[in-house]
Amino acid sequence: MEIAARLGLGRQGTYHQLHTLVGCGMLARNQENRYVLGLQVATLTEAFTRHLALPEHLAPLVRQVAAETGETAYAAGWRNGEIVNLVSAPGSNAIQAMTVPQGYYRFAHARATGKLLLAYAAPELRDSYLAGHAMERRTPNTLVDREAFDAELTRIQETGFSADREEFALGLCCLAVPLGRSGATFAIGLSAPVGRFNAAFDDYLSILRRIARVA
């Protein structure tokens, strides 16, 4: 059985788990007799969205960033020890950067919002996070050396913004600024193709800072 082989489980235990998931509606069988997601998965999605507890003021700010820049915009914050993308809004430019989905929490060290929130975090929270999350290399530009990464966090603290220049994905750059009166409770940012990002960097930073300041 393919599922049992891939999971490294016994056939009987795998059948039992699949039967349970089918019974509660999380899985179903299609016409080819293969397992697919069941309708009850939608309840998990709804519950997960509620769990993120998106602050009401974030979504309008993200939409404003997207409207004024034409770029994909987003906001992130700390949730249960993870740096989570809380909301995204598509831009209006014909060529758009990829959208990080709501709930995405991986590779914070390679994302502008992640680096910013780590820079503004209390030292014990930052050290705890980095101790539990390997700094994996996503691209040749990803910072994976702790000393170099700490220097980057210091630069972010001094300048008040964070930039990801093709550290998360090649061809993609991101920019983020903090929200919150003391430190950074949340971060708002945008993503853009590298050429457009470099050409409009100063304008993007000015817009983000203005929106964050008003907020």
Model confidence over 6-16: pLDDT tens digits?
Answer: 667 777 766 66
Phi, psi (deg, nearest 5) at residue 110: -110, 0
Can you give the pLDDT at residue 94? 81
Instruction: Tell me the pLDDT of the chain (215 aa) as tens digits.
Output: 676 666 677 777 666 666 676 667 767 777 777 777 766 644 444 444 444 455 667 899 999 999 999 999 999 999 989 999 999 999 998 887 777 788 899 999 999 999 999 999 999 999 999 999 999 999 999 999 999 999 999 999 999 999 999 999 999 999 999 997 555 689 999 999 999 999 999 999 999 999 999 87
Can you give the pLDDT at residue 57? 78
Contact 28, 39 (CB under 8 A): yes
By C-alpha distance, which of 151, 145, 143, 133 is closest to 167? 143
How many whole angstroms separate alpha carbon 120 and alpha carbon 178? Answer: 8
Domain ranges in the chain are 2-47, 53-214
Can you give the pLDDT at residue 46? 44
- Residue 138: C-alpha distances to residues 35, 96, 106, 128, 130 (Å): 32, 20, 11, 21, 16
Tokens 């050429």 label which residue? 195
CB burial readout 37-61, b (16+ within 10 A) else e:
ebeeeeeeeeeeeeeeeeeeebeeb
CATH code of the domain occupying 53-214:
3.30.450.40
Residues in contact with 189: Cβ distance below 8 Å, sequence separation at least 6, in sequence order: 65, 73, 74, 75, 76, 112, 113, 116, 162, 174, 175, 176, 177, 208
**Other CB atoms within 10 Å distance of the CB of residue 190:** 29
Tokens 């390997």 label which residue? 134
